[in-house]
Structure 1
Amino acid sequence: MDLTRLPDDLPAPPDDGAADHLEGTPLPPIALPATDGSTVPLDRLAPGRTILYAYPLTGRPGTDLPEDWDAIPGARGCTAEACAFRDHHADLLAAGASAVYGLSTQDTAYQREAVDRLHLPFPMLSDEAFALTRVLDLPTFDVAGRTLLRRLTMVVRDGVVEKVFYPVFPPDRHAAEVLAWLVRTPGS
């Protein structure tokens, strides 16, 4: 299975309002481990805008995804989305983002494999303990005995969530959507 390509018949996730409360919310004083070995204090991100995109689960070649993964609206596409953020990384920075981070509930070692395999120029953050997920009440879903994040992107400006993209679909085109928003909405 090619994890970078999405099937044509993926179901789109509905807008269930589960992220409506996030805009205007300050990020809490929680530090998450990153795949580059650092710990990122979310309430002390670099000045300006930070792109924090949340995703459910990156697949690995040769490892089965959860049963009926493609039938879950919004589940499939994490690898394709990561590759799109990789491919648009320089453009996102040029458009005013100070940093880009991926965020999931997978552990750092699992995420590091994806960063290395996909040659991602940005770190992934692990919320394996659900600290950020609980405090911000991020939307989740359960599959195969695991709780995973629903796909969303927060643009954080000077520590406060300025913009939320939710639901995200299709995930392989989402980085371009974020880039277009940054270009249309310059920071001051």
Structure 2
Amino acid sequence: MNQRNLLDVDWSKIPAPTDDGGAAHLKGMAVPPVSLLATNDTQVTLSALRGRTVVFAYPRTGEPGKIGLVDDWDMIPGARGCTPQTCAFRDLFADLRAAGAAQVFGLSTQSNDYQTEMASRLHLPFPVLSDEKLELTHALKLPTMEVAGLTLIRRLALIVDDARIKEVFYPVFPPDRNAGDVLEWLKRNPRGAA
């Protein structure tokens, strides 16, 4: 299937993911000391970051005009929407920072080369982390799906305070509203509040 406009999606025709409990264990967990390559050519160790960090994860972004990973990608619950989710975080980046996010990162199992092209094409103001070797995915036991022989992270978002997961958004649907949901949570839960 050819990738159409990646942002033009009728969510009523896309199956929503259900809560399979795959992220239930994450809230309260310490982030392990795993270093990941970022699209700004740095190594990022989330466990070493101080302050509040937002990490949104997704299966894989598409490329306009390119063949999709599998023909029925849109019908896999939770698969479609990586580009709309990423663009929503881009568009709300300044608001997320103003609401207390010291850092914002995207995360997927795609290669850094693939992600660097996507980050440039979409004009992202934040780095995207590559967990191509599944180190963080396995260490945190993130929910995954297998598609075309690849292990992909199921869509979720994490709020991390000083290397400890404070809040988990899972499942995420529709994906383009995830950034707004995270922003509202940040506004309702300022850092240091009881």
Superposition TM-score, scaled by structure 1 size: 0.98
Aligned to 2:71: 67
The CA distance in 2 between the partners of 1:140 and 1:160, in whole Å, is 21
Question: Residue by residue, what CA displacement relative to the aligned partner does 1:66-90 show, whole Å, maximum 9, x if unpaired?
Answer: 2200100110000001100000000
**Residue in 1 aligned with 2:8?**
5
> Match of 1:6, as an amino acid?
V
What is the CA–CA distance in structure 1 between the aligned matches of 2:121 and 2:188, rounded to whole Å?
33
Name the structure 2 match of 1:83.
87
Instruction: Classify the secondary structure of the residue corresponding to 1:97.
Output: coil
Alignment of 1:159-170 (within 5 A): 159-170=163-174
Within 2, Cα distance between the matches of 1:132 and 1:183? 28
Which segments of 5 or more consecutive residues in structure 2 lack a partner in the other structure? Answer: none
Q: CA deviation at 1:145?
A: 1.4
Residue 33 of structure 1 corresponds to 37
- 1:100 maps to 2:104: yes
State how many pairs are aligned: 187
User: Using the alignment, how far apart are the partners of 2:8 and 2:164 within structure 1?
Assistant: 33
Runs of 4+ off more than 3 Å: none
Matched, 1:58 2:61: yes
The whole-number CA distance in structure 1 between the counterparts of 2:44 and 2:14 is 34
Given that 1:54 and 1:151 are in contact with CA atoms closer than 8 Å, whether structure 2 keeps it comes out as yes
Contact (CA 8 Å) 1:57, 1:104: kept in 2 or not?
A: yes
CA RMSD of aligned residues (A): 0.7
Instruction: Find the aligned partners of 1:48 and 1:37 in 2 and give their Cα distance.
Output: 22
